[in-house]
Amino acid sequence: QVQVMESGGGSVPAGGSLRLSCAASGYTYRNHCMGWFRQAPGKEREGVAAMVIGSGSTYYADSVKGRFTISQDNAKNTLYLQMNSLNPADTAMYYCAALGLAYCARWYVAADYSYWGQGTQVTVSS
């Protein structure tokens, strides 16, 4: 079965940077949609960024545009999220997810994703 696992979370001061990684297995991700979501305590899970693997098509939430970059390494079957200029509002559990379809028009809809990682905590202090 498809498995995804996030890593790279941690604590960082405001203005700092962090890179999250998502290793995938049991799945052919090329030309399929994968995304990053985050959820703070008591808040709804929100889409952060997504991409169609191998296509170059990327999508970002308005709140992270210009600060976060989603990328991939096909050889390693790994998805990345580079997070720069972090602020306390970015504090959340971050999840990697695979849509299981070559379609990203609704990349921001968590319920559409079939496979999820366990999450990695990102904490940004002021």
CA-to-CA separations, 22 to 76, 95, 98, in angstroms, rounded: 10, 9, 10
Give the model's pLDDT for residue 32.
Answer: 83
Residues with Cβ < 8 Å from 54, sequence gap 6 or more? 29, 30, 31, 72, 74
Mean pLDDT per 10-residue segment, the chain (126 residues): 91 98 81 93 96 89 98 87 98 94 87 94 97
Q: Is 39 in contact with 92 (CB distance < 8 Å)? A: yes
Give the model's pLDDT for residue 102.
Answer: 74
Give the model's pLDDT for residue 28.
Answer: 67
